[in-house]
Structures are given as C-alpha cells and as structure tokens.
C-alpha cells in the first residue's frame, strides 16, 4: 500500500460526523398566484436572487467565497425555474464563480430536502457553509403544468389517477378518518388565520421577510413587505359557504387548504466549527431527519411515518418535542397527524404563528419557512429544547426534521 493510500485510509477511518447548525433564513413575502398576484410578470429566479443577496447582507462576517454550495429546489423545473437554478441563482446573486450550485425536486419538500441534503454534506465534511432553499412561482408554472405521467401509472394501477390531484387525496383522508369533519377543519383554518394575524401584530413574521419591488400595469411600482394570502377576519360562517371543488358535497375547500402561491426562501447552514470561526449566530442545531413513503392516495399521512422514523433515529419521544411547525397543505392533513400522536387541535406547541392555510404554500419553498418560524420561536421560548418541522409531500411521502434550541439550558448536553 502506498503512503498516499494509507494516509487517505487513515483520514477516512478517523472522520467523525460534525454538528450542523441553522444560522439564518429569509424569504420573500408570499403572493397569490395569478395575474392579480403581487409577483405577476416577475421571474422565479429573481425572487431567489433577492433572498440570497439579503441573506448575505444579514451575515456580513461571512466571506462570499466561503459558501461551498447553493442548493435551490423547484417543483416545476422549467423556464425561469429551470437551468440548474441553484447555480444560476448563485451567479445572478453575485456570488463568486467558484461557488457551485444545483437544483433539487421533492415537490412540496424541495427546500426541506435542499437543507437535509447539504446538511449531510456538512456533517460528512464536504462543506463548511451552504445556502439551501426553494422557489415556486405558481403563477408562471401552475402545478402539474407540462407534466407527462407515465401511462403505466394507470394501466398497471400503480397509482390511482385521482392521487395525482392533491385535493382528492385530502378528501380521501376525510374518508379514512370520519372523525375529522368539515366543521373541525374549518375551525382549525380559522385559528390558523388568527394566529398569523397575532404574529404579524407582534412583529414575529416581518424580521425574516425580504422586501420585493413589483410593478403592475396601471399602478406603477409597489414595495411588497407583507404576505398577500392572509385573510385575518375569516370566520366559520365565511368558510361554511365555500364550495368543495374536489368532490360534490365534499369537505375540502379553499378556506381549509393552502392556496396557490408564489414565493422563495433560502437558509444559511454551517458546521458548528465554521459558525464559531466566522462569528455566525447559531439559531438551531440539526438533530436528525427522515423521509418516508405512504400510499399516494392519502399523501397527507406522510408526516406520520416520517416523524416516527426521525424519533427512532434520534432516540426521542413525541413528548420531547416542545414546538411543532407542520405545513398546512390541508387542515385534514394536520389534524390526522395530531390525532395519531394524541395532540389536541389547539395545543399551543403547534404552529404558534399560524401556517400555510393563512400564509400560503409556494410548494418547494415552504420547508425553510417552517424553519424560520421555529428558529424565532426557539429564541422566544428558551424553555423548549427540541422542535420539529414536518410536511406531507405529493405522490405519497412525508418529511420530518428535528432541531435543538441553542438557548435551552441543556443545549448540547447528552444531546441526540
């Protein structure tokens, strides 16, 4: 064996897994998709660029050349969301040409997968600092636009054709769990709107928003500094009158589900050592993560097995989780998760700032929004040690990431 080979083998044998920390995260205000939305006529990649630039501005101690990777997710990877958007966004944002980038797709969990994928590289030692996030301009790219599902899905009954429509899968969840009534989902949706409004009033949402200028015909330029989808005055009476577009006499409506939205998010991750070296703040520590598959026909159940898997891997119990950030694709999906783990609909640990039903869900971008909100809640509540970000994913998957609060008195002590 040559000396070089022996040296490499020694390095490999002694390599240890490094701590991964969430340094910071930002997002654009979320807009309503369509010609009347705040981002009508804008490019998706420009939204990502604004986020990357603001992230770097907020962390001046980080030299741009120290960024080792840029991973950006999009569900529809074509047009202004194509061309390896992680690399193109890095170049457009003014990062050095030496900084590589790539694109990633796991539908709704795109940004979450961008985070876990690059975090794994940090833990392994391939990276020290990364930028990870996601974008979806559903006005430019309606969900499923240009898709060409293989005919075998239908001919071989691999997936029920109805499962390709996420609203249908939510109605299927109602069928499976009749105790989750429309009245109950509507009540949950109203609370989501109320909690988001309260968080806005308390200034808990605004610190992580990147102002985005937009221009509309006839009205000139506007600086968008707040989310467009929220309807803070929503009542149960309002929701009761909405139609059920996925099934006659169904239970899923535009009021108890996330809408069609535009927006982008990015996060800054680093190894614990690199954060210390560069003077970067530590807002969360990654404890563990898991992805799981379920029947595509009930894709909303995905967070359940993903969470069970993540808890097993980290040696934690559901009772150890002091804060939950659950993506609200549909109210029935969140409630099925809560019922499975014996958590009350109004448990104060769940979505303290409201969720996607109120703020919006621009598909691949939403995972980092959940992380931003959890990190801010950790700062406000140092008594909570562990928190969770979790979401369902189209075609029958779920994702869960468990984080530790650096403000907790036992942070890093006998941690998972």
Asked whether the beta carbons of 47 and 212 are under 8 A apart, the reply is yes
Given the residues 137, 141, 174, 361, the one annotated as active site: 361
Q: How far is CA 66 from the centre of its chain?
A: 25
347: left (phi over 0), alpha (psi -120 to 50) or beta: beta
- Burial (CB count within 10 angstroms: exposed 0-12, middle 13-18, buried 19+), residue 16: exposed
Give the chain's radius of gyration (CA, Å).
21
Distance CA 283, CA 405 (A): 7
Catalytic residue among 51, 137, 392, 408: 392
Burial per residue of 4-14, b for 16 or more beta-carbon CB atoms within 10 angstroms, e otherwise: eeeeeeeeeee
Query: Is 108 one of the annotated active-site residues of the chain?
Result: yes
Q: Report the sign of the C-alpha dihedral through residues 335, 257, 390, 348, in that order.
A: negative
Q: How many CB atoms lie within 10 A of CB 338?
A: 18
407 is catalytic: no
Q: Is 361 one of the catalytic residues?
A: yes
Query: What token pair was written down for 4?
Result: 């070089």
Q: Kindly give the interhelix angle for 331-340 and 303-314, rounded to the nearest 10 degrees.
A: 40
Query: Going by C-beta distance under 8 Å and a sequence separation of 6 or more, which residues neighbour residue 38?
Result: 29, 31, 32, 212, 214, 222, 224, 228, 262
Spot the catalytic one: 51, 108, 137, 141.
108
Tell me the catalytic residues. 108, 361, 392
């Amino acid at each position: 064996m040559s000396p070089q080979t022996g040296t490499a083998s020694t390095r490999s044998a002694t390599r240890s897994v490094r701590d991964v920390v969430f340094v910071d995260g930002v997002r654009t205000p979320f807009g309503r998709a369509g010609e009347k939305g705040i981002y009508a006529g804008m490019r998706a990649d420009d939204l990502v660029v604004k986020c990357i630039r603001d992230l770097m501005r907020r962390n001046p101690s980080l030299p741009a050349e120290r960024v080792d990777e840029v991973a950006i997710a999009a569900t529809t990877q074509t047009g202004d969301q194509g061309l390896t958007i992680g690399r193109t966004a890095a170049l457009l944002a003014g990062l050095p040409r030496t900084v590589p980038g790539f694109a990633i797709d796991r539908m709704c969990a795109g940004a979450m997968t961008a985070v876990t994928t690059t975090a794994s590289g940090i833990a392994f030692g391939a990276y020290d600092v990364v930028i990870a996030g996601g974008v979806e301009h559903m006005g430019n790219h309606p969900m499923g636009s240009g898709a060409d599902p293989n005919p075998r899905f239908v001919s071989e009954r691999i997936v029920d054709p109805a499962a390709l429509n996420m609203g249908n899968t939510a109605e299927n969840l109602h069928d499976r769990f009749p105790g989750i009534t429309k009245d109950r989902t509507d009540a949950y949706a109203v609370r989501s709107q109320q909690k988001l409004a309260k968080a806005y009033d308390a200034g808990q949402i605004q610190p992580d928003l990147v102002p985005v200028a937009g221009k509309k015909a006839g009205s000139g330029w506007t600086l968008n500094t707040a989310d467009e989808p929220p309807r803070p005055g929503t009542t149960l009476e309002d929701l009761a009158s909405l139609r059920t577009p996925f099934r006659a006499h169904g239970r899923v409506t535009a009021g108890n589900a996330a809408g069609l939205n535009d927006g982008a998010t990015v996060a800054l991750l680093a190894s614990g050592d690199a954060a210390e070296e560069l003077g970067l703040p530590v807002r969360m520590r990654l404890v563990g993560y898991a992805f799981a598959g379920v029947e595509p026909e009930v894709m909303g159940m995905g967070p359940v097995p993903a969470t069970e898997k993540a808890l097993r891997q980290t040696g934690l119990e559901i009772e150890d989780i002091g804060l939950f950030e659950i993506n609200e694709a549909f109210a029935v999906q969140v409630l099925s998760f809560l019922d499975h783990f014996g958590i009350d609909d109004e448990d104060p640990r769940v979505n303290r700032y409201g969720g996607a039903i109120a703020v919006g869900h621009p598909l691949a971008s939403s995972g980092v929004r959940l992380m931003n909100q959890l990190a801010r809640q950790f700062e406000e509540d140092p008594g909570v040690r562990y928190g969770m970000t979790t979401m369902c994913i189209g075609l029958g998957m779920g994702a869960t990431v468990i984080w530790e609060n650096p403000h907790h008195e036992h942070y890093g002590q006998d941690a998972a």
